[in-house]
Chains A and B, each alone.
Chain A
Amino acid sequence: MIVERLKRYWRIIRRPSLHFSLGFLTLGGFIGGIIFWGAFNTAMELTNTEAFCTGCHEMRDNVFAELKTTIHYTNRSGVRAMCSNCHVPHNWTDKMARKMQASKEVWGKIFGTIDTQEKFQAMRLELAQHEWSRMKANDSLECRNCHQYESMDFTRQSVRAQNMHTTYLASKEKTCIDCHKGIAHQLPHIPPGSGPSDTPGQIVPKSASAAGS
């Protein structure tokens, strides 16, 4: 039954067009493609806006409220990072992969996985660990989109920062997120042994760092 129907559709698709000219189909396909692509990307960009992210009370009342007190939201020069700057890769294929992953978040929204603050706090460590491992795997690519190692003037940094950056960061033994966890949001309770500076596997995988740069 289904197989027969599929066969019928397959025949229709395979058969040359009887009513439309080749030029119409080519041009129409071309223009239609442009319109589709533009609309698709526009819609995709729309889901990258802060208004979209904070449209849910889960984001607005928890993580966005916390962001507002940090230097990534308000600072002397007015440069500001919004949600997607750190949480969505810029590279197109990576972005698509992340957006597909985000369908899980839509599921969570529909079924109210974190629709109260208590539920959010209870899940917070797990959610944070997802982000930490993602940034760990891509060598903190989203940090490095703005904070480039090559452009860092160590002489303008404090002695502490100089020491850390010229050793652990320079040798690629550590990546940004290893030390700079909880800079844009508050940290959940971290059980002993899985703290920011004692997570195992601190060495950045070579392939991931190569793909990231």
Chain B
Amino acid sequence: MKIRCLVLIALGLLAASAGAQPPPAPAHVDAARGPVPIPETTRPPLLRNAVNDDQRLKRNYDMQPPVIPHRVDGYQIDKNFNKCLDCHARAKTEFSGAVPVSATHYIDRSGKVLPQISTRRYFCMQCHVAQEPVQPLVGNSFRGIAAAPAPAAKK
């Protein structure tokens, strides 16, 4: 009885596999990695220089931290010195002609206005990033407010 059962199950499995003939599972392709098998080493894309054209880019959505349109290689941001604020601090922009840091960055978490940048906003590149002139590796259908109809047109 037992043996017959096992034989039946085995036959059933064989029949199922022979009948359905599922195609071999497609190798998983990682978008960032490309079709390179896991054990092999990928050839990383060439490093490029960051965008440095100083053309301010529009925000893609409300409250987006504006991106940095220039190179920031080797900028020193530590407890001694903040290279970004050397031009972008509100006291410096008259001379440097840079975009001043938002006034919200001078307010601490209890709402007090400070004479210098709030410590919680000190590390600029936590939110603001330089841009690389590359195409995204992964497709994205997000359109952003630039593509959305203007509010005036809606009315």
Residues in A lying within 8 Å of B, measured CB to CB: 69-71, 158-160, 163, 182, 186-190, 195-198
A182 to B95, CA, bound (A): 19
| Contact flag A188-B80 (CB < 8 Å), given A158-B54, A159-B53, A195-B86 | yes
Tell me the smallest distance from the CB of B75 to a CB of chain A, in Å.
10
Tell me the smallest distance from the CB of A197 to a CB of chain B, in Å.
6
Q: Are B74 and A160 in contact (CB under 8 A)?
A: no
Residues of A within 8 A of B95 (CB): 197-198
Residue B136 at the chain A interface, CB threshold 8 Å: no
Residue B81 at the chain A interface, CB threshold 8 Å: yes
Question: Which A residue's beta carbon lies closest to that of B73?
Answer: A71
| Contact flag A158-B97 (CB < 8 Å), given A186-B76, A187-B81 | no
Most buried by A among B73, B80, B95: B80
1/0 per residue, CB under 8 A from A, across B75-117: the answer is 0101111010011000010011100000000000000000000
Residues of B within 8 A of A196 (CB): 86
Residues in B lying within 8 Å of A, measured CB to CB: 52-54, 70-71, 73-74, 76, 78-81, 83, 86-87, 92, 95-97
Q: Chain A interface secondary structure, helix, strand, loop or mixed?
A: loop
| Contact flag A189-B86 (CB < 8 Å), given A69-B74, A159-B54, A160-B70 | no
Q: List 23 A-B contacts (CB under 8 A).
A: A69-B74, A158-B52, A158-B53, A158-B70, A158-B71, A160-B70, A163-B97, A182-B76, A182-B81, A186-B81, A187-B80, A187-B81, A188-B80, A188-B81, A189-B80, A189-B81, A190-B80, A190-B81, A196-B86, A197-B92, A197-B95, A198-B92, A198-B95
Tell me the smallest distance from the CB of B54 to a CB of chain A, in Å.
5
Tell me the smallest distance from the CB of A194 to a CB of chain B, in Å.
12
Given A158-B53, A189-B80, A197-B95, 11 other A-B residues pairs in contact with their CB atoms under 8 A: A159-B54, A160-B54, A186-B76, A186-B78, A187-B76, A188-B81, A189-B81, A190-B80, A197-B86, A197-B92, A197-B96
Q: Are A189 and B79 in contact (CB under 8 A)?
A: yes
A158 to B68, CA, bound (A): 14
Residues of A within 8 A of B71 (CB): 158
Tell me the smallest distance from the CB of B71 to a CB of chain A, in Å.
8
Residues of B within 8 A of A69 (CB): 74
Tell me the smallest distance from the CB of A169 to a CB of chain B, in Å.
14
A195 to B71, CA, bound (A): 22
A198 to B52, CA, bound (A): 26
A188 to B76, CA, bound (A): 10
Tell me the smallest distance from the CB of A191 to a CB of chain B, in Å.
11
